[in-house]
Structure 1
Amino acid sequence: MAALMSAAQVKPSWFSAHNLLRGPKTGRASAVRAERSGVNHLTVASIRQQKPSMQAVYRRSVESRDSIRMGIPSKGRMAEDTMNLLDDCQLKVRKINPRQYAAEIPNVPGMEVWFQRATDVVRKLLSGDIDIGIVGYDMLREIGNEDDELVVVHDALGFGFCHLAIAVPSSWEDINSLPELLSDKRWSKDRPLRVVTAYMNLAERFFGDLGFENVELFTADGALEAAPAMGAADCILDLVSSGTTLRENNLKQIEGGRVLDSQGVLVASKTALLERPGTLEIVHELLERLEAHLRAEGLFMVTANVRGETAEEIATRLAANGGRLLRGLQGPTISPIFTAGEDNLPSSDGTFFAVSIGVPKSRIYEAVKEIRKQGGSGVLVFPLTYVFDEEPPRWNALINHLGLDSRDYQHLKIGGGIR
């Protein structure tokens, strides 16, 4: 795993220095009434009047509370996937009262769990109301706005996959790429490209970094896909997962218009990590469990009995004929098997060894056939639940990012636990 980065550093290739969009419509009215497009339920407002994440955030001091708090999504698919992941990692969230927003994880004593809207998870990390959070990377980038207070502890939790992209009407047959969209002669200072999005900060930076000035950004409350057909916008910049919703609304993605890739991430407050006692220890345990489970996901253990002279001879044979497929994570595990014949004397069938290798799910049958070629029999296949490293790579990256000495936290690796 590459070195851990702050939320400001984990960014797509189009990010550069903090460039601001120099739009031509600064002096326009702050709101465009929906009635102009003949629709009453769609409210469109100018970007110049809506920059909530740019406002100054009052941050509570660490001394304002003793407890360590974790925020997780309260609704929707992200909430469901978060709960399932924590449950799979033996971090089951228990609500004492189903009507309350506070909960606990019995296996992580000393930490409160708070159910929050995704946007509030990020805002409360910034304000110091929570210390750790799970949220989509798209929301982290939009609301977090490159704040160094936000540290991405785990950038790939394996759920909530989607991407932020530009989509234009399918009827625009001559526009299939971003350069074609930006160079279209229809857009000018007096008639800018109108883009509706819920991600105002990301959209502003995207077009600003491109140096494209003939654009005006609007925000809408839901149903962005309807805006082009209604005449409220020319195109949209929105989250896409399967693309089905776009197609059903006669929209298409364009080449080069992919703004940001997103999935669930584990984030922490830098201040809490450095100053709130116990936070780093809890983050270490979360990382241990998450990393071990996610690394094991999709891996199966294949075990077989293989006849041979010695363990070394079998290992050499497997490596020579099976390549990397039969080497497992670091190499096959080979151990002797006692095969007794009559009167408990050694069997005349020869010497057998048990060979165990970790194999991706997609290559199980291929591995079984290779083992059979080497004289393997009695093949067993079973899924893996956890694969623990000596130390989670992301933990080492976190310690380096914070400028701490890893030797001060050796007790966590050898079972010292949360102090």
Structure 2
Amino acid sequence: MIIALPNKGRLAEPSLELLRSAGIKVESEGRRLIASTNREDIAVLFARARDIPEYVYKGAAQVGITGLDMVYEAGVSVETLLKLDFGKAKIVVAAPSGSEIRKVEDLEGRAVATEFRKITQDFFSGLGIDVEIVEVSGACEIAPSIGIADAIVDLMSTGTTLRLNGLEVIAEIMETQAVLIANRKVVDDFNVQALKTALESVLNARGMVYLMMNVPEDRLEDVKSVAPGLKGPTVMKVESNGMLAVHVVIHESHLFEVVERLKMAGARDILVIPVQRLIF
């Protein structure tokens, strides 16, 4: 199986890190075009994020990680298997602050600069607004200031770049993030589904910890009320008379107060273990 990954940009390193966490380590020297991994049946194809949907659609790679915006922009038929919870951003329409352009309807007959021709065309066509699309590649935010467009359609993460260039958002088109996509012909392939499960288990485990503790039988209900866990705790009898072993998964953001409350409820010998993967 070949996995297409972004070769640079904001999605590149998080994609590699996610694969590493799922047990797939890329053996790459200098980020070659195609790299082997620690698994004989998996290789990685490095490509531009915007090209990955096309590569997956045509079967050059069976699966790939790219932005949801890139999938929409490519307009090809691929299966979105999983949202990966990184690379989050919005595609927005932005115009110069203080200009007469206050809403998208004000762009009728005007020029809009963007790297996203299809998304932009679909958005304005859907609203019945006729605009001239000026295609640019990079530094889209300077287009209004140099006079080649009246507004832009671009990715926005924090909005800082737009503000620095004197632009403000007048409409949001879509939210995007990194996604795992697959060629529709191989969606049910064992390796494809195994990859989806592995990545999903890593995402599920983020921020979760596993608690193990000993609890007197007569204090079990008190402990369960403090830490009910995802689907209830696992309870087992131990050799020590009148004691139970209780295992539970909780979010680490609750750990500070939960551990103290567990002690107060009668739990002892509490062990906290990071969770690497979590499969529901």
Q: TM-score, normalization: structure 2?
A: 0.90
Contact 2:223/2:266 (8 A) holds in 1: no
- Aligned residue in 2 for 1:385: 276
Q: 1:103 aligns with which of 30, 35, 38?
A: 35
Equivalent positions of 1:206-355 (< 5 A) are 206-213=123-130, 215-254=131-170, 257-273=171-187, 280-309=189-218, 314=220, 316-319=221-224, 321-322=225-226, 326-339=227-240, 351-355=242-246
- Aligned residue in 2 for 1:165: 92
CA positional deviation for 1:183:
4.3
Higher strand share: 2
- Aligned residue in 2 for 1:92: 25
Q: 2: distance between equivalents of 1:285 and 1:271?
A: 16
CA positional deviation for 1:163:
1.4
Q: 2: distance between equivalents of 1:208 and 1:105?
A: 44
Q: 2: distance between equivalents of 1:272 and 1:335?
A: 42
The root-mean-square deviation of aligned C-alpha atoms, in Å, is 2.2
For the pair shown, which has the larger CA radius of gyration, 1 or 2? 1
CA positional deviation for 1:249:
1.2
CA positional deviation for 1:122:
1.7
- Aligned residue in 2 for 1:201: 118
Aligned-partner SS, 1:119? coil
Aligned-partner SS, 1:387? coil
Equivalent positions of 1:399-414 (< 5 A) are none
Q: 2: distance between equivalents of 1:229 and 1:247?
A: 13
Q: 2: distance between equivalents of 1:183 and 1:122?
A: 32
Change in Cα spacing, 1:260 to 1:85, as seen in structure 2 (3 Å) is same
Q: Is the aligned partner of 1:130 residue 2:61?
A: yes
CA positional deviation for 1:273:
4.1
CA positional deviation for 1:82:
1.0
Q: 2: distance between equivalents of 1:111 and 1:289?
A: 14
Unaligned runs of 5+ in 1: 1-67, 275-279, 340-345, 390-419
Unaligned runs of 5+ in 2: none
Residue deviations 1:373-417 (CA, integer Å, cap 9, x gap): 32223333221101123xxxxxxxxxxxxxxxxxxxxxxxxxxxx
Q: 1: distance between equivalents of 2:182 and 2:11?
A: 18
Q: Give the letter for the 1:159 counterpart.
A: F
Q: 2: distance between equivalents of 1:226 and 1:241?
A: 17
Q: Give the letter for the 2:229 counterpart.
A: G
- Aligned residue in 1 for 2:10: 77
Q: 1: distance between equivalents of 2:30 and 2:115?
A: 31
CA positional deviation for 1:304:
3.0
Residue deviations 1:316-340 (CA, integer Å, cap 9, x gap): 4444x43xxx21121012223444x
Residue deviations 1:208-264 (CA, integer Å, cap 9, x gap): 112223x2221112111111122221211101112111121121223xx22121111
Contact 1:304/1:371 (8 A) holds in 2: no
How many residues are paired up?
280
Residue deviations 1:278-306 (CA, integer Å, cap 9, x gap): xx111122112111111111101223332
Q: Is the aligned partner of 1:118 residue 2:49?
A: yes
Q: Give the letter for the 1:113 counterpart.
A: V
Q: 2:260 aligns with which of 352, 359, 369?
A: 369
Sequence identity (%): 31
